[in-house]
């Protein structure tokens, strides 16, 4: 059997045309495919006639293949390759000018970089000279400073008078009661951190609880002088709530609802407690996906009941909070619109959860 290449050599028909003829007549037409004798005869009859067919078939058995190949038409020689057009002289001159400009720019860049390096070196030298001058000034000032006599501490002074240990503390208390104003005016404090825990606190039990929890040394005070409440019930209960959340390790608080002025005051007080992470949801509508995401990021979810937030807007938060057993849910009492009411509700909810976790009754803290 022959291939399409043999048919091409015998008839001069292009190989692509032979393959197309074979495909059209249902004989495949793949490259290098063997053609049965019956198909070969039909192709020769279609492209060479019966006489040519017999002659070609006879030649295939009696003459060498090389002679049959000579019967195929000779391909025309390829056209001569055109020579590349010569570059015009004007273009050559422009290319030379561009190359010269590039070299000049590179040289200019190198010069600028060298100048920049010199400027940096000069600037560093000037800075070092300024540092040396300041050091000389400090040394001169230290040499010219008068020698200050080291004064004894208050404990040393009392010790020289026979008061040591607890007796020195009692002596200091006696001095403070008798000459408090003179001590305040005459004593200098070298380490002010010792005074950081001293705070004026009013007699309200909630403020005293906050002071005890924060480790304050309480100085009795009243009204707006109280460090905890400054005379505000909202501030007092917010500080108490912050202490409770910190103790319980539940510092992430999500607040849902509330009037605009109450939310603003709540946010202002929250800024004074950097350990708390408070997120307020106001009147904006939130879908269920967003509500679930906010609840997942909270330890406590507090709802301001009877506020401007509609039931439909708060319901996604309630559903998400009830499905999360790790979240503590708090709600202000009916009519409790202020910060104090919500903060008190959060304190009670967190205390209840802690008591349940410890297996204690509600009133045992």
Q: In terms of Cα–Cα distance, which of 227, 202, 206, 232 is closest to 348?
A: 206
40 φ, ψ to 5°?
Answer: -60, -45
Distance CA 196, CA 199 (A): 8
Query: Which H or E run includes 194?
Result: none
Q: What ranges do the domains of the chain cover? A: 4-71, 250-358
CA atoms within 13 A on the CB side of 169: 2
Q: Confirm if 269 and 295 have CB atoms less than 8 A apart.
A: no
The pLDDT assigned to 304 comes to 87
The pLDDT assigned to 162 comes to 87
Q: Which long-range contacts (CB under 8 A, 24 or more apart) does 351-358 make?
A: 351/244, 353/248, 353/328, 354/248
Distance CA 3, CA 19 (A): 10
Q: In terms of Cα–Cα distance, which of 339, 288, 338 is closest to 317?
A: 288
Q: In this structure, how many other beta carbons lie within 10 angstroms of the beta carbon of residue 187?
A: 8
The pLDDT assigned to 241 comes to 97
Tens digit of each residue's pLDDT, the chain (365 residues): 778 788 888 888 888 888 888 888 777 666 677 888 888 888 888 876 544 444 544 445 444 444 445 554 555 566 666 665 655 666 777 788 888 889 999 999 999 999 999 999 999 999 999 999 999 998 888 888 666 567 788 888 888 888 888 888 888 888 888 888 888 887 777 777 778 889 999 999 999 999 999 999 999 998 899 999 999 999 999 999 999 999 999 999 999 988 889 999 999 999 999 999 999 998 777 888 999 999 999 999 999 876 666 777 788 899 999 999 999 999 998 878 899 999 999 999 999 998 888 877 655 44
The pLDDT assigned to 189 comes to 75
* Non-local CB neighbours of 2 within 8 Å, separated by 6+ positions: 34, 35, 40
Distance CA 164, CA 285 (A): 68
Strands (E), the chain: 198-201, 217-220, 252-256, 277-281, 300-303, 328-331
CATH 3.40.50.2300 fits 250-358, yes or no: yes
The residues that bridge with 328 in the sheet, in sequence order, are 300
């Amino acid at each position: 059997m022959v291939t399409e290449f043999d048919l091409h050599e015998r008839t001069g028909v292009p190989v692509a045309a032979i393959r197309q003829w074979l495909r059209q007549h249902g004989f495949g037409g793949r490259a290098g495919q063997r053609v049965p004798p019956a198909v070969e005869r039909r192709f020769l009859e279609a492209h060479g006639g019966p006489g040519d067919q017999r002659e070609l078939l006879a030649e295939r058995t009696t003459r060498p293949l090389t002679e049959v190949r000579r019967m195929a038409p000779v391909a025309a020689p390829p056209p001569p390759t055109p020579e590349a057009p010569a570059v015009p002289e004007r273009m050559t001159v422009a290319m030379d000018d561009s190359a010269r400009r590039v070299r000049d720019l590179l040289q200019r860049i190198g010069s600028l970089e060298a100048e920049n390096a010199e400027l940096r070196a000069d600037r560093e030298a000037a800075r070092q000279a300024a540092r040396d001058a300041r050091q000389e000034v400090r040394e001169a000032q230290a040499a010219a400073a008068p020698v200050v006599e080291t004064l004894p501490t208050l404990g040393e002074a009392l010790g020289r008078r026979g008061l040591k240990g607890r007796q020195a503390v009692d002596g200091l208390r006696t001095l403070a009661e008798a000459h408090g104003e003179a001590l305040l005016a005459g004593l200098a404090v070298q380490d002010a951190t010792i005074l950081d825990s001293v705070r004026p606190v009013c007699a309200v039990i909630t403020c005293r609880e906050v002071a005890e929890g924060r480790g304050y040394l309480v100085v009795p005070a009243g009204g707006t002088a109280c460090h905890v409440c400054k005379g505000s019930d909202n501030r007092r209960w917010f500080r108490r709530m912050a202490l409770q959340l910190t103790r319980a390790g539940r510092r992430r608080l999500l607040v849902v609802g509330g009037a605009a002025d109450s939310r603003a005051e709540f946010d202002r007080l929250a800024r004074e407690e950097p350990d708390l992470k408070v997120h307020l949801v106001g009147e904006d509508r939130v879908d269920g996906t967003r509500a679930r995401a906010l609840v997942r990021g909270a330890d406590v979810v507090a709802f301001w009941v009877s506020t401007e937030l509609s039931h439909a807007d708060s319901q996604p938060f309630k559903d998400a909070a009830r499905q999360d057993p790790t979240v503590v849910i708090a709600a202000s009492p009916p009519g409790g619109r202020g910060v104090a009411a919500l903060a008190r509700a959060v304190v009670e909810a967190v205390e209840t959860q802690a008591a349940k976790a410890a297996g204690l009754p509600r009133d045992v803290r």
